Every structure is written in C-alpha cells, then in structure tokens.
A and B are shown apart, each in its own frame.
Chain A
C-alpha cells in the first residue's frame, strides 16, 4: 500500500504550508497550546472552542498555572464545553508534569501517552506538531481522507480499520510530520467534506485519489452503525395437553428463521396489550 499513499505526502505538506493560520492555537507550536486546544476540540466545534481557548490561555498561560488552579476556577473556565473529565485530566496531567518532568511537557509520543486523558490521537498530534516526531494523528477527518484516497470500503468505525490506516501512514511520515498531519486534518475539514459532495476539483491530491477516479466519494467512508437492539415484549403461551406441549414454526425469513417457538403475541404499547391478537389466540385454546 505504501506506493498508493506515498504520492499524497508532498502535495499535502505544500498545500498546508500555504493555508492561512488564523486560529489562535495555530499561531505557534508550543506543546501546551497544542495540547489544550486538541483536548477542547475533541468534542466541541472549532468555532465554539475559539473563545474558550483564548480565555483559558489568558487565565492559565503555563502548565504551572494549570497545575495549581483551584478546581472550581478550572471548571468555571470549562463551563459550557461539557465533558468535564477533560478539564480534570488536564490538571492531573499538569501536576504529573510538574512532579515528574520539572514542569516541561514530555517530548515523545510514548511519554505523552502516559498522561491522563491523552490518547493515541492527541499524543500523535502534540508529538508531530510540536516536535516533528514521525507519528500519525488519526482522527475522523484523516480516516475519511485516507479511505477515499485508497477507495477503501472498510468500516471506519472499527478499531482495526483505524489501526490499519495508522500503520499505513506510519510508513510514509515525512520530516515535516506536523505539517503533514495538520494538512490531512485540514483537508478533511475544508475540502474532503463529510456527508456532502467533497470539493475534489480544488483538492491537491485529486490525481492520486481512487475514490475520485472511481466515482465512489459518496460511498466512502463506510460507516456501519451497530443496529440498535430491538426488545420485544411478548405474551407467551405454554399450552399443555397431557405430556405434550404446543409449538409452532417461525417464519422462513428474519431473525431466528425456521426455529420453533411457543405460541405468542407481541404486546402492544398500551396497558391492555394487544387485545385483538390475544383474543385470536384464546380462540385456539
């Protein structure tokens, strides 16, 4: 697969380097800034994060400030962002950094992963953006772009798919690892759009994209949602005649097809249940 992804590296890096960087957390590559912004962005839209990020950095400009902030103030700064465990983990990590690393952010992917609340994606983003470590940072945008480039119909919601894509990217990481990762993410955000027609005509990697060539952009990425469990409330009859019991065969199709079951009716949603069906059943007894 290496050959297939290799050609996208250079165009993506170049494209990203030309993009305007107006977001407050894109003004430098300070790991503390990347870290806080990535954590805020995990469950929240970019637009909403902007003002939270700016205020957070004004109040807690360093890891030292974060490590000693009273919890109440921290939660107030996070108020409205939701998922408060993110804020608590930030503080826990800051304390850990103070105690074990003299207040300096760890500089490698592996060390970053040891901090509370930092998973593979965040560790990859900080390590590559701040230190140019050649590790991927695979989020939903990256999964979509890579699946489309490869015209892969593997389910992007499966951890195995994410792992495969991570491994493929690992093989092609360039020296400009941060720009490549950020480029992939930004391409997903601005060009290779989800749930609508991607802007292939303006895409810097169009000529290498299999989904574009094969007209598959609306089918990829594949996301197989787990079916919700359907719970049926039934009234079941165990009809006995001497030592025999009444059973019946289920339908030829559908769930548990062709198996046997005791006669039963699905209860209606009202309190009296499915009275018509029940009456029918009573007539057979």
Chain B
C-alpha cells in the first residue's frame, strides 16, 4: 500500500470533509484505514 498525504487548497465536494474528532465519533472506518492516520510513508 502506498499512502500519499496531501495538503489541498480547495475542498473538493466529491468527498465528505470531516475533522478527526468527527471521524472518530460518527464515521466508521475499517481498521486498515484508521491505522494510516499519522503513519504515512510520504
């Protein structure tokens, strides 16, 4: 798996934008994805 962490300049509406806190509380993420936060290769 390759992970790119990118700071973007605009919020593309295609995605749902959430804070980490919201994500933790309201949006169920598979563990494999959760683990990626803060552990990116690039």
A244 and B33 contacting across the interface, CB-CB below 8 Å: no
Give bound CA distance, A153 to B37, whole Å.
46
Give bound CA distance, A249 to B36, whole Å.
17
Give bound CA distance, A249 to B3, whole Å.
19
A238 and B3 contacting across the interface, CB-CB below 8 Å: yes
Contact bitstring B1-42, A, C-beta under 8 A = 1, else 0: 111111111111011111110010001111001001100100
Q: Which residues of B contact A246 (CB under 8 A)?
A: 8, 11-12, 15-17
Q: Which of A236, A239, A245, A262 contacts B19 (CB 8 A)?
A: A245
Q: Which of B7, B10, B15, B40 contacts A263 (CB 8 A)?
A: B15
A244 and B17 contacting across the interface, CB-CB below 8 Å: yes
Interface of A is mostly: strand
Q: Which residues of B contact A245 (CB under 8 A)?
A: 17-20, 23, 37
A260 and B17 contacting across the interface, CB-CB below 8 Å: no
A238 and B30 contacting across the interface, CB-CB below 8 Å: no
A101 in the interface (beta carbon within 8 A): no
Q: Which residue of B lies closest to A284 (CB)?
A: B12
Give bound CA distance, A236 to B27, whole Å.
18
Q: Which residues of B contact A (CB under 8 A)?
A: 1-12, 14-20, 23, 27-30, 33, 36-37, 40
Q: Which residues of A contact B (CB under 8 A)?
A: 233-241, 243-249, 256, 259-263, 267, 284-285
